[in-house]
């Protein structure tokens, strides 16, 4: 798990939100009482409320006590997509039986063949809907909604093609 301060990784934990939710849920309970209910040490709960990153076990116990999914606290971080060709080239470069020049030549031939033979990806139809509150949505929500609506469209199309609808 990486902290919200910016370490690399696929996702980061929103530690500020976790601390805020802990304080709100704890309410008038003392830190010691809340820690006993959660099943973590007093010091762990104190650090997490202050924005420190918990260990995995403490994190799952805290999420259980809060009654929320751990996924709620993960914030996506942009990653570079690795293509199949990138993977092939990496394997060729790592092969101890090939000299660097030989691996480069094979990679060049493969790239040329791939460029000639690979077909353009098919475009999925865009599913559109008007959201009156679109301007109030958090960043990324319209994209996720489009993905969900596209998946629903595809499933319905499959069922129509199979004669189920």
All residues at 6 or more sequence positions from 51 whose CB lies less than 8 Å from its CB, including other chains? 15, 16, 19
* Residue 33, helix vs strand vs coil: helix
Mean pLDDT split into 10-residue runs, the chain, 165 residues: 46 86 93 95 94 92 92 77 85 87 90 84 62 66 76 83 81
Q: Are 75 and 10 in contact (CB under 8 A)?
A: no
CA dihedral in degrees (134, 147, 13, 1; nearest 10)?
A: -170
Predicted confidence at residue 7, as pLDDT, reads: 44
Predicted confidence at residue 3, as pLDDT, reads: 44
| Sign, CA torsion 12/15/17/21 | positive
The CATH class of the 11-76 domain is mainly alpha
Predicted confidence at residue 125, as pLDDT, reads: 60
| Sign, CA torsion 66/16/7/40 | negative
Predicted confidence at residue 6, as pLDDT, reads: 43
Residue 159's alpha-carbon distances to 127, 151, 155, 162, 163, in angstroms, are 17, 12, 6, 5, 6
Q: Domain boundaries in the chain?
A: 11-76, 84-117, 124-160
């Amino acid at each position: 798990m990486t902290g919200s301060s910016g370490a690399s990784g696929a996702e980061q934990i929103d530690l500020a939100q976790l601390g805020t939710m802990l304080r709100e849920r704890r309410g008038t309970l003392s830190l010691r009482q809340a820690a006993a209910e959660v099943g973590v040490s007093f010091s762990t709960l104190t650090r997490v409320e202050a924005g420190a990153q918990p260990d995995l076990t403490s994190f799952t116990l805290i999420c259980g006590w809060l009654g929320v999914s751990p996924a709620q606290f993960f914030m996506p971080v942009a990653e570079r997509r690795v293509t199949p060709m990138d993977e092939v080239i990496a394997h060729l470069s790592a092969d101890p039986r090939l000299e660097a020049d030989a691996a480069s030549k094979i990679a060049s031939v493969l790239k040329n063949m791939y460029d000639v033979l690979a077909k353009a990806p098919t475009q999925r139809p865009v599913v559109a809907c008007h959201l009156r509150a679109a301007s109030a949505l958090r960043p990324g929500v319209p994209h996720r909604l489009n993905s969900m609506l596209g998946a629903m469209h595809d499933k319905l199309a499959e069922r129509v093609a199979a004669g189920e609808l």
